[in-house]
């Protein structure tokens, strides 16, 4: 919680259970272009929906759907992730019916964890009571409990047979009428990990770098730098503009090339600032055609750097030359480029974060590098 702003703590601190699915989806939407004001506003709506759920209010699930539907319209938001979160939530949430005063007869998943409108979509289409509660639909007449059906037309024979099946399912649901309705998590147990894995399912290829970046052989500051780079989390002028931050200066590249300052351009494609990369590969004796993007750049270096003693020694010098800049938080673009090269060296050669560079430089041939 220490790295969160005050409003984030207000939103997240009371959250538990399946609500994390929604928060993760909303956080993803925020990083993909949702401005902060809209995110805070929707978070407040979400919290109110959560409180409604805890009170057993039947509108909870519909509000959740509205929020997810709104998020699907955000620029660059992946609808597949939105739909996975929605489906997973619906599959695991079940309504436990007591007095039926806060449960929608057709739309809430209260019959074996399923919604009647899904099981009997034909009957739902011709019903006049689509928004009625369970307490309104289940009545007792002359000591006999029955369902108060109302249709917009006469039923066909096969539809009457569906009604009989629906009657059997509804009447077979066990209820504690002296208690209020409530929501229940239907899976074995809820974990934030399962929610997150559901949301990123199908995106594993984009996160295979995690094991490389968060290696115990790599200094933590270096790992954080690479993580922010791969996730497009650096405060470039374009990222700040997309999040509604006023920029007094021009949004064009700080290198003076006249291009828009995006992360990809700033670190890898700027004809002025990218000279650091060309100097690195020239000094290492590597011939390479540069690619765009942080992760592709990392894979290229990881696959091309040989394990010769000369290259190792020079990587050791690179390591030492940028350690002060990293530790003292002097994050010039060229220093970051050098630091990124160090990450490759750490991973390729298994360098010890504390002793690797010194061991390289103590070798007899190091003085002649």
Domain ranges of the chain: 6-91+185-199, 109-180, 209-368
> What integer pLDDT is reported at residue 83 of this predicted model?
56
Q: Which residues contact 361 (CB under 8 A, 6 or more apart)?
A: 313, 316, 317, 320
pLDDT computed for residue 175 by the predictor: 83
How much is the pLDDT for 363? Answer: 36
Residue count of the chain, please give it.
Answer: 369
DSSP line for 64-99: HHHHHHHHTTSTT--HHHHHHHHHHHHHHEEEE-SS
CA–CA distance, 346 with 363 (Å, rounded to integer):
18
What is the number of helices (H) and of strands (E) in the chain? 19, 6
- For the chain, the first-to-last Cα distance in angstroms comes to 47
Residue 70 Cα distances to 9, 26, 34, 143, angstroms: 23, 10, 11, 46
Per-residue confidence (pLDDT) for residue 291, from 0 to 100: 66
Find residue 185's DSSP bridge partners.
Answer: 93
Tokens of 79: 């609808």
Judge contact between 88 and 21, C-beta under 8 A.
yes
The span from the CA of 66 to the CA of 72, in Å, is 10
CB neighbours of 262 closer than 8 A, spacing ≥ 6? 236, 238, 239
C-alpha distances (whole Å) from 359 to each of 115, 305, 343, 356 are 66, 19, 17, 5
pLDDT of 317 reads 62
Pairing mode of beta strands 182-185, 138-141: unpaired
- Give percent helix, percent strand, percent coil of the chain, each to the nearest 5: 55, 5, 40
Distance (Å, whole) CA 227 – CA 224: 5
Spatial separation of the C-alpha atoms in residues 28 and 77, rounded to whole Å = 8
Give the pLDDT score at 213. 78
Rounded distance between C-alpha atoms, residue 191 and residue 39, angstroms: 24
DSSP string, 112-130: TTEEHHHHTHHHHHHBS-T
**C-alpha–C-alpha distance, residues 133 and 302, integer Å:** 61
Distance between CA atoms of 227 and 211, rounded to whole angstroms? 11
Query: Do β-strands 144-147 and 138-141 pair in parallel, antiparallel, or remain unpaired?
Result: antiparallel
For residue 105, what pLDDT is reported? 92
Best CA proximity match to 71, nearest among 36, 30, 40, 41: 30
The pLDDT, as a whole number, for residue 11 is 39
Q: Strand 182-185 relative to strand 93-96: parallel, antiparallel, unpaired? A: antiparallel
135: exposed, middle or buried (C-beta count within 10 Å: 0-12, 13-18, 19+)? middle
- Which segments of the chain have a pLDDT < 50? 1-21, 28-40, 54-55, 71, 74-81, 329-336, 338, 347-369
Determine the pLDDT at residue 262: 82
């Amino acid at each position: 919680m220490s790295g969160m702003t005050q409003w984030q703590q207000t939103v997240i601190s009371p959250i538990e259970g399946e609500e994390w699915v929604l928060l993760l989806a909303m956080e993803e939407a925020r990083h993909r272009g949702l401005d902060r004001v809209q995110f805070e506003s929707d978070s407040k709506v979400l919290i109110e929906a959560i409180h409604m759920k805890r009170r057993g209010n039947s509108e909870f699930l519909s509000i959740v759907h509205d929020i997810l539907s709104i998020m699907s319209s955000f620029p660059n938001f992946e609808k597949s992730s939105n739909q996975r979160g929605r489906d997973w939530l619906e599959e695991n949430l079940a309504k436990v019916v007591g007095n039926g005063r806060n449960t929608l007869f057709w739309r809430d998943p209260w019959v074996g964890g399923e919604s009647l409108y899904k099981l009997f979509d034909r009957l739902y289409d011709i019903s006049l009571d689509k928004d009625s509660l369970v307490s309104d639909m289940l009545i007792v007449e002359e000591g006999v409990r029955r369902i108060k059906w109302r249709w917009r037309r006469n039923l066909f024979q096969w539809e009457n047979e569906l009604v009989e099946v629906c009657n059997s399912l509804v009447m077979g649901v066990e209820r504690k009428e002296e208690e209020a309705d409530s929501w229940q998590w239907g899976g074995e147990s809820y974990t934030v990990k399962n929610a997150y894995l559901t949301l990123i399912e199908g995106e594993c290829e984009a996160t295979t770098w995690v094991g490389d970046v968060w290696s115990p052989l790599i200094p933590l500051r270096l790992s954080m730098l690479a993580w922010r780079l791969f996730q497009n989390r650096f405060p470039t002028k374009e990222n700040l503009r997309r999040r509604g931050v006023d920029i007094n200066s021009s949004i064009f590249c700080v290198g003076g090339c006249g291009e828009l300052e995006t992360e990809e351009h700033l670190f890898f494609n700027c004809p002025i600032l990218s000279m650091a990369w060309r100097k690195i590969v020239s000094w290492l004796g590597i011939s390479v055609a540069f690619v765009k993007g942080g992760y592709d750049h990392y894979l290229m270096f990881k696959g091309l750097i040989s394990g010769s003693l000369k290259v190792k020694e020079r990587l050791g010098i690179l390591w030492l030359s940028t350690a002060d800049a990293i530790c003292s938080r002097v994050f010039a673009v060229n220093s970051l480029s050098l630091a990124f090269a160090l990450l490759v060296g750490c991973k390729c050669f298994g360098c010890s974060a504390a002793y690797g560079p010194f061991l390289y430089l103590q070798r007899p041939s190091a003085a002649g590098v």
